[in-house]
């Protein structure tokens, strides 16, 4: 799984730390870090929560083209 | 000081998944260690083994039954194995062979008689094969029925 740079960028855009996003989404900072590093594949429920917190759509944060998925 | 928050899971989904993986590993390690401990004690206690191993045996069989019933209820056969008669036949043959060899070593160490050991290998091997085949056939049949029921549930429209 490739790193989720879109999530990192959206978080930076809102000037949020991983901890702040984690608190807002109701998960641990370790989980947000693992998602950004591409080490954890979140459930659709958590994806939606993160999208709501950051004011983005699922496509904007989690869509991957086929070539990205194989990285 | 509060030790637990009543009713609320303190873990997020990733921590929950990691804990479940850990629990699964813990279960299978304990299961394997228990089986190994039973086999070693059988070799050590020989004829008196049944007297000392009742507790371990009950726990071991209860854990097997728990997994079997749980898997059938969920319509799961195994992670990689294919649920077919040929496969359960091969597994039963393997079980018969492994048990036969184990009993041969056990008997040879106990009585030192090669002929008796070989005869018991045949008898134990065949009995284990037959019992395994019977148990697996029943499980396979229960699994297939359950799978069929689960696949037919719900509205496909």
pLDDT band at B125 (very low <50, low <70, confident <90, very high): very high
Could you tell me if residue B117 is inside a domain? yes
Euclidean distance between CA atoms B131 and B29, whole angstroms: 26
Give rounded-to-5 percent helix, strand, coil for chain B.
80, 0, 20
Residue of A nearest to B14 (CA): A31
Of the candidates B86, B107, B93, which has an alpha carbon nearest to the alpha carbon of residue B43? B107
* Closest-CA distance of chain A to residue B17, Å: 10
Residue B34 pLDDT: 96
Euclidean distance between CA atoms B128 and B126, whole angstroms: 5
- DSSP secondary structure, B78-131, as one string: -SS----HHHHHHHHHHHHHHHHHHHHHHHHHHH--HHHHHHHHHHHHHHHHHH
Could you tell me if residue A69 is inside a domain? no
Examine the fold and report which residue of B50, B74, B98 is the final residue of a domain before the chain moves on. B74
Residue of B nearest to A39 (CA): B14
In which domain, by residue range, is A47 found?
Answer: 5-64
Per-residue pLDDT tens over the stretch B111-122: 777 787 788 888
> Could you tell me which residues of chain B have a Cβ less than 8 Å from any Cβ in chain A?
12-15
Count of residues making up chain A: 71
Q: B-chain residues within 8 Å CB-CB of A53?
A: none
In which domain, by residue range, is B114 found?
Answer: 80-152
Residue B4 pLDDT: 66
Count CB pairs under 8 A between chains A and B: 21
Same domain, B94 and B139: yes
Count of residues making up chain B: 157
Q: Do B14 and A42 touch (CB under 8 A)?
A: yes
């Amino acid at each position: 799984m490739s790193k989720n740079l879109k999530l990192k960028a959206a978080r930076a855009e809102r000037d949020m730390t991983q901890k702040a996003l984690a608190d807002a989404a109701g998960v641990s900072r370790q989980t947000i870090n693992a998602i950004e590093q591409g080490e954890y594949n979140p459930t659709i429920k958590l994806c939606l929560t993160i999208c709501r917190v950051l004011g983005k759509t699922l496509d904007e944060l989690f869509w991957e083209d086929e070539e990205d998925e194989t990285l | 000081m509060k030790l637990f928050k009543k009713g609320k899971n303190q873990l997020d989904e990733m921590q929950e998944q990691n804990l479940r993986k850990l629990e699964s590993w813990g279960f299978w390690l304990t299961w394997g260690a228990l089986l190994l401990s039973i086999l070693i004690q059988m070799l050590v206690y020989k004829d008196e083994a049944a007297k000392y191993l009742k507790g371990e045996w009950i726990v071991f069989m209860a854990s097997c039954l728990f997994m079997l019933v749980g898997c059938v209820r969920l319509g799961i056969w195994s992670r990689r194995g294919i649920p077919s008669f040929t496969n359960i036949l091969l597994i039963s043959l393997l079980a018969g062979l492994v048990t036969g060899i184990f009993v041969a070593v056990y008997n040879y160490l106990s009585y030192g008689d090669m002929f008796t050991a070989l005869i018991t290998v045949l008898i134990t091997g065949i009995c284990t094969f037959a019992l395994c085949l019977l148990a697996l056939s029943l499980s396979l049949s229960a699994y297939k029925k359950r799978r069929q029921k689960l696949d037919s549930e719900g509205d496909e429209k």
